[in-house]
Chains A and B, each alone.
Chain A
Amino acid sequence: MAQHADNAYYVPHATRWPIVGSLGMIIMLASAAYWLNGASAARWSFLLGVAILVFMVFGWFGQVIRESERGVYNEQVDSSFRLGMAWFIFSEIMFFACFFGALFYARALVVPWLGGEGSGAATNEYLWPGYVPHWPTNGPGEVGGDFQTIPAFGIPFVNTLILLTSGVTITLAHHALKAARRTPLILWLAATVLLGLVFVVLQVEEYLEAYQVLGLTLGSGIYGSTFFMLTGFHGLHVSLGAIILLVIMLRSMRGHFTPDSHFAFEAAAWYWHFVDVVWLGLFIFVYVL
């Protein structure tokens, strides 16, 4: 009956990381709520919560990495990780879909209705007389005042090229890994992280311009809301993806991964491609159209 550890599905015995994570999460979120309610001292406990979460991530992933390097995971465990990552990305896609949905609904239906189209005639007549539907808009109440939009073919276009290029570099890194060529692997990964970094810097640059020059803010009606929430969440995901890739690069430098066993690399690459595709949607629907 005894089976060699290599062949059995690895079921860890007990773990303390999740409860650490829960504590970090509740401290972070409860503090965030107090902070939002005006208790600015709560920002310190908020940071404490974040720190605990970061500690948890390092500890938990570190343990998984050590186990992986020791070879306790068989192929079936690998498949579980693959399924887990794939469905995690799916949930992220649905999160973005929610905000894209808000954008489409507002543009295609709300704004025309406010302007009196279809069943919105009375709304327009009585509540917002004289509002002519247009896009971009901050609504009939001109919430947030005058603003201009970021032209698509400035920074956003450059950023599109950057992300597309990074999609190529990560693939080159993958090929290098499969060919067991360590140096190009590390260099292509470094290039990808760098491109991600440049993207984020340019995005910050764009936000500064929006706030300081164009008058476009989070409060600029529905345009500002959808613009900043979509690009903001995307930017957070790019940052996270870049950090993940950085970790993968450091691990590669330490000699982790083999040509036929490197799921962490692939997971990071999937995540990066997902971030990439979301950006294409953003570029088209937020900036160009």
Chain B
Amino acid sequence: MSSIAAHESDALRMPDAQADHKPHGFLDRWLFTTNHKDIGTLYLVFSLLMFLVGGTMALVIRAELFMPGLQLVEPDFFNQMTTMHALIMVFGAVMPAWVGFANWMIPMMIGAPDMALPRMNNWSFWILPFAFAMLLSTLFMDSGGPAAGWTLYPPLSLQTGPSFAFVVFAVHMMGISSIMGSINVIATIMNMRAPGMTLLRMPLFVWTWLITAYLLMAVMPVLAGAVTMLLTDHFFGTSFFNAAGGGDPVMFQHIFWFFGHPEVYIMILPAFGVISEILPTFSRKPLFGYAAMVYATASIAFLSFIVWAHHMFTVGMPLEGELFFMYATMLIAVPTGVKVFNWVSTMWKGAMTFETPMLFALGFVVLFTIGGLSGLMLSIAAADLQYHDTYFVVAHFHYVLVPGSVFALMAGTYYWLPKWTGRMYSERWGKTHFWLSAIFVNVLFFPQHFLGLAGMPRRIPDYSPQFADFNQWSSIGGFLFGATQLIFVGVIVHCVWFSRKPARARVWESARGLEWTVPSPAPYHTFAEPPDIDESMVVHADEVSH
């Protein structure tokens, strides 16, 4: 192997492991690591942990909502649960999970020795456990955690007790972590591609992450600014969101959603990428319209900056504003439609098989599209006056996020787990996991559409008895969906430690891409030298042949 390790004599010098050997001690391996695979694993494990924590909070919510009236928790604690559930799922579960995938896969997909800035990569991850420890610690403070919703709207959020400053600083830390992570992704993709891996030959997962990283760079600092203004309004007497001083609480909503809408695409674009990897493999056909997929992703990203106020149709905007944001929002349906069309066309007349990753990908295409359609309904400003802040919105974003982003995460996990561990997972349990998830996610969220249309408000611990039936369905679905995820944990544990079925290098027979050219499990260091790229592995069907 090449001697990529230069010898150094620093005070904090590390024992110089051999290039392709893992460090021995536990701390050396996990706390001090600069290896993209180890850091990817750290992100993924952390994210799974946060899924379980955030999921438990969701079950507290669903338990309280099982019946009308107040049974289990105080209303204020209920609000803390909705707030923390969202913060943890968005910033602690979905986003880190995608960064974990980026770490594991991007260097292997583009033929790079590692991420571009390995030390910073370590820091990006190791900020997160501290940030979330601080966030979670607020639940144990005297007046409890934040309870104003993950959107932190003032003036309500400014009434948060002593936990407020901790929440703001935790958000700052998450932002710093995300920004460093995105810098790393951009530098890696722009600078570390093996010769021959031109931009338009990159796998779509790499493309979608590149665009996601741009979105993150543009909006995380804005979120940091927004919560900083909250902090100074709370503690230092500024008037950003105080009308008496010439400010405006609505201004916070504009700033927050300038971050918030791109944020939802940050959670879904890498999912689009994963689905675009999996469908061709199990349809045994190249991806239909590769270039169109790239351009559609870029257009979605661009449009995501000019639609934010569709979250604010009821807040009292001028009519021109309502109209602009309505039409701009509807426009996003066009590139999104291109994507769904191309996925379906990829499968058209393909020789399909239905292994677990494919099942999750198919579930994604169908159920995410339902979420997209309810999004279109919400984008009609006049109709949104009715839907806003009801369970219809809750149903919408859970469809795009759970059978959307989360299903894609699971699809990707099953797809690459054999590559990561060198062993096959249990296909039977994987399929069981899929079918139970797919059924229960609908039991959980579909009735929420009806609740919302009938007028049940969100973020309320008690409700009128007329909503009882659908809420019971939803709660039952919720508990069963939650229990089903324990199967997922079981499948992973089994695959990592107990499975005896070795995985081949090319785990799936018609999978394309550089990651399948290295053995399974992928060696600790892959591509210390750029690989010779076999064109057939990377050229896409619609690339013009020279």
**Is residue A141 contacting chain B, with contact meaning CB distance below 8 A?**
yes
Residues of A within 8 A of B489 (CB): none
Complex CA distance for A23 and B131, rounded to whole angstroms: 11
Residues of B within 8 A of A48 (CB): none
A14-B32, A16-B32 given; A2·B2 CB < 8 A: yes
**Is residue B541 contacting chain A, with contact meaning CB distance below 8 A?**
no
Shortest CB distance B106–A (Å): 14
Which residues of chain B in 155-190 are interfacial with respect to chain A, using CB atoms and an 8 Å cutoff? 162, 165-166, 169, 172-173, 176, 179, 182-184, 186-188, 190
Given contacts A26-B173, A102-B225, A225-B229, 20 further A-B contacts (CB under 8 A): A5-B6, A11-B114, A14-B23, A15-B119, A16-B32, A26-B133, A29-B169, A32-B165, A67-B8, A76-B192, A84-B183, A84-B187, A91-B220, A95-B224, A114-B243, A118-B318, A139-B245, A140-B243, A143-B239, A229-B232
The stretch among A105-113, A188-196, A245-253 that forms the contact with chain B is A105-113
A95-B222, A225-B238 given; A18·B122 CB < 8 A: yes
**Is residue A272 contacting chain B, with contact meaning CB distance below 8 A?**
no
A13-B17, A70-B6, A95-B225 given; A221·B239 CB < 8 A: yes
Taking a contact as CB atoms under 8 Å apart, the answer to whether A80 and B191 are in contact is: yes
A residues apposed to B, CB below 8 Å: 1-3, 5, 8-19, 21-23, 25-26, 29-30, 32-33, 36-37, 59-60, 62-63, 66-67, 70, 72, 76, 79-81, 83-84, 87-88, 90-92, 94-95, 97-99, 101-102, 105-106, 109-111, 113-114, 118-119, 123, 127-128, 137-141, 143-144, 217-219, 221-226, 228-229
Taking a contact as CB atoms under 8 Å apart, the answer to whether A37 and B165 are in contact is: yes
Taking a contact as CB atoms under 8 Å apart, the answer to whether B116 and A17 are in contact is: no
Complex CA distance for A224 and B238, rounded to whole angstroms: 7
Complex CA distance for A63 and B182, rounded to whole angstroms: 23
Taking a contact as CB atoms under 8 Å apart, the answer to whether A83 and B529 are in contact is: no
Residues of B within 8 A of A67 (CB): 6, 8
**Is residue B544 contacting chain A, with contact meaning CB distance below 8 A?**
no
Residues of B within 8 A of A5 (CB): 2-4, 6
Taking a contact as CB atoms under 8 Å apart, the answer to whether B245 and A66 are in contact is: no
Shortest CB distance B339–A (Å): 27
Taking a contact as CB atoms under 8 Å apart, the answer to whether B238 and A18 are in contact is: no
Of B8, B113, B246, most A-chain CB atoms within 10 Å: B246
Q: Please, which residue of chain B has its CB at the minimum distance from the CB of A99? A: B225
| Residue contacts A-B, CB under 8 angstroms, 25 given | A5-B2, A8-B529, A11-B113, A12-B119, A13-B17, A14-B17, A18-B122, A22-B127, A25-B130, A26-B173, A30-B166, A30-B169, A59-B11, A84-B187, A91-B217, A91-B220, A139-B244, A141-B245, A144-B237, A219-B236, A221-B245, A221-B246, A224-B239, A229-B228, A229-B229
Taking a contact as CB atoms under 8 Å apart, the answer to whether A29 and B172 are in contact is: yes
**Is residue B528 contacting chain A, with contact meaning CB distance below 8 A?**
yes
Complex CA distance for A90 and B12, rounded to whole angstroms: 32
Residues of B within 8 A of A88 (CB): 179, 183
Taking a contact as CB atoms under 8 Å apart, the answer to whether A110 and B229 are in contact is: no
Taking a contact as CB atoms under 8 Å apart, the answer to whether B247 and A225 are in contact is: yes
Taking a contact as CB atoms under 8 Å apart, the answer to whether B235 and A36 are in contact is: yes
Interface residue tally on B, bucketed by range: 35 or more
Complex CA distance for A150 and B112, rounded to whole angstroms: 54
Residues of B within 8 A of A84 (CB): 116-117, 120, 183-184, 187
Taking a contact as CB atoms under 8 Å apart, the answer to whether B244 and A105 are in contact is: no
Contact of B6 among A19, A72, A128 (CB under 8 A): A72
A76-B191, A94-B222 given; A15·B179 CB < 8 A: no
Q: Please, which residue of chain B has its CB at the minimum distance from the CB of A135? A: B246
Taking a contact as CB atoms under 8 Å apart, the answer to whether B229 and A102 are in contact is: yes
Which residues of chain B in 29-59 are interfacial with respect to chain A, using CB atoms and an 8 Å cutoff? 31-34
Majority secondary structure, B binding face: helix
Complex CA distance for A217 and B8, rounded to whole angstroms: 51
Taking a contact as CB atoms under 8 Å apart, the answer to whether B162 and A225 are in contact is: no
Taking a contact as CB atoms under 8 Å apart, the answer to whether B2 and A25 are in contact is: no
Taking a contact as CB atoms under 8 Å apart, the answer to whether A13 and B240 are in contact is: no
Complex CA distance for A16 and B23, rounded to whole angstroms: 14
**Is residue B462 contacting chain A, with contact meaning CB distance below 8 A?**
no
Residues of B within 8 A of A228 (CB): 238
Taking a contact as CB atoms under 8 Å apart, the answer to whether A143 and B245 are in contact is: yes
Taking a contact as CB atoms under 8 Å apart, the answer to whether B251 and A110 are in contact is: yes
Proximity string of chain B (212-241) to chain A, C-beta cutoff 8 Å, 1 when within and 0 when not = 000001111110111011001101111110
Leading 3 A-B pairs by shortest Cβ distance? A141-B244, A98-B225, A139-B246
Taking a contact as CB atoms under 8 Å apart, the answer to whether A29 and B134 are in contact is: yes
Shortest CB distance A1–B (Å): 7
Complex CA distance for A66 and B10, rounded to whole angstroms: 9
Complex CA distance for A99 and B126, rounded to whole angstroms: 29
A19-B126, A139-B242 given; A94·B217 CB < 8 A: yes
Taking a contact as CB atoms under 8 Å apart, the answer to whether A1 and B2 are in contact is: yes
Q: Please, which residue of chain B has its CB at the minimum distance from the CB of A95? A: B221
Residues of B within 8 A of A30 (CB): 134, 166, 169
Contact of A37 among B162, B176, B318 (CB under 8 A): B162
Shortest CB distance A197–B (Å): 26
Complex CA distance for A142 and B166, rounded to whole angstroms: 31
Shortest CB distance A222–B (Å): 4
Shortest CB distance B167–A (Å): 9
Shortest CB distance B449–A (Å): 32
**Is residue B118 contacting chain A, with contact meaning CB distance below 8 A?**
yes
Proximity string of chain B (192-224) to chain A, C-beta cutoff 8 Å, 1 when within and 0 when not = 100000000000000000000000011111101
**Is residue B465 contacting chain A, with contact meaning CB distance below 8 A?**
no
Taking a contact as CB atoms under 8 Å apart, the answer to whether B247 and A106 are in contact is: yes
Q: Please, which residue of chain B has its CB at the minimum distance from the CB of A9? A: B113
**Is residue B397 contacting chain A, with contact meaning CB distance below 8 A?**
no
Q: Please, which residue of chain B has its CB at the minimum distance from the CB of A63? A: B10
**Is residue B136 contacting chain A, with contact meaning CB distance below 8 A?**
no
Contact of B236 among A15, A218, A223 (CB under 8 A): A218
Complex CA distance for A94 and B179, rounded to whole angstroms: 12
Shortest CB distance B251–A (Å): 5
Residues of A within 8 A of B244 (CB): 139-141, 143, 221
